[in-house]
């Protein structure tokens, strides 16, 4: 994640120079701090539990919080359909969460829930910021600062950095492309609806994890996706 953040900032540097996001400067540090906490909590969840458990909980918790935050912070009132979508997410998350029965999995659930809180935090910050500036330049500064903060946390361990530079670059490409689409969507639609629809990735995550998942996990993931589909209509 440290490599990805720095690489993304370098890749987006032309946009930062051409259109510096001056109006959004107050949002950059809070967003980067939330992104850094997200990376740490997500890593802790993956270290303690299966991806098919941690990923749906971490990603699925966020839309509930973003919908609530969008209502309270951004004055974006949820529709009845959005509320139903959120309830489907709640049911799906409950099923997925209760699939982890032993102690290590319960620890993973805790960190996955914290991951969702972090995602909701930076999503609300970013949704407000991109109303004022170019998402491209803004994201470049946020990811660059996040990369530097994570680099400080690994204390510049050159051996570790040499081992991860290739996956770091791949993460930079995927994360930058995906989240830029989200930021542009934040400019066009309410934050809660965008975040809920984004969670179609939960089903994809369960599929590509290639881990043995029980019926409860699959049903929970399906409910999360159902919530996302309802939010998109």
CA distances from 26 to 23, 78, 126 (A): 8, 27, 11
Distances (CA, A) of 185 to 29, 188, 193: 22, 5, 10
* Cα–Cα dist 117/189, whole Å: 21
Task: Decide which of 213 and 146 is more confident.
Answer: 146
- Read off the pTM: 0.78
The pLDDT tens digits for 130-178 are 988 989 999 999 999 999 999 888 876 778 778 888 899 999 999 899 8
Render pLDDT for 185-197 as a digit per residue (tens, 0 to 9). Answer: 888 887 777 777 7
Confidence tier at 218 by pLDDT (50, 70, 90): confident
Domain parsing of the chain, residue ranges: 2-232
Indicate the range of 39-53, 168-182, 209-223 predicted with least confidence: 209-223
Query: What are the C-alpha distances in Å from 166 to residues 24, 104, 182?
Result: 31, 30, 25
Q: E strands, the chain, where?
A: none
- Please determine, for residue 102, whether its predicted confidence score (pLDDT) is greater than 60: no
- pLDDT tens per residue, range 118-130: 988 998 899 889 9
CA-derived radius of gyration, the chain:
17
């Amino acid at each position: 994640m440290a490599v990805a953040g720095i690489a993304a900032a370098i890749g987006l540097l032309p946009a930062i120079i051409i259109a510096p996001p001056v109006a959004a400067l107050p949002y950059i540090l809070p967003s980067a701090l939330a992104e850094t906490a997200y990376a740490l909590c997500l890593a802790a969840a993956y270290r303690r539990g299966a991806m098919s458990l941690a990923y749906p909980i971490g990603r699925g918790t966020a839309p509930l919080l973003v919908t609530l935050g969008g209502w309270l912070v951004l004055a974006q009132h949820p529709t009845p359909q959005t509320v139903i979508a959120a309830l489907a997410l709640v049911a799906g998350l409950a099923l997925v969460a209760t699939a982890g029965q032993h102690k290590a999995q319960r620890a993973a659930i805790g960190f996955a829930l914290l991951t969702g809180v972090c995602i909701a935090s930076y999503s609300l910050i970013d949704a407000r910021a991109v109303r004022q500036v170019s998402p491209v330049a803004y994201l470049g500064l946020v990811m660059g600062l996040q990369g530097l903060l994570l680099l400080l946390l690994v204390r510049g361990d050159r051996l570790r950095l040499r081992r991860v530079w290739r996956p770091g670059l791949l993460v930079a490409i995927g994360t930058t492309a995906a989240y830029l689409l989200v930021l542009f969507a934040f400019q066009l639609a309410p934050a809660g609806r965008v975040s809920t629809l984004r969670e179609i990735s939960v089903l994809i995550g369960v599929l590509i994890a290639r881990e043995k998942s029980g019926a409860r996990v699959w049903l929970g993931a399906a409910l999360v996706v159902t919530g996302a589909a309802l939010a998109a209509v």
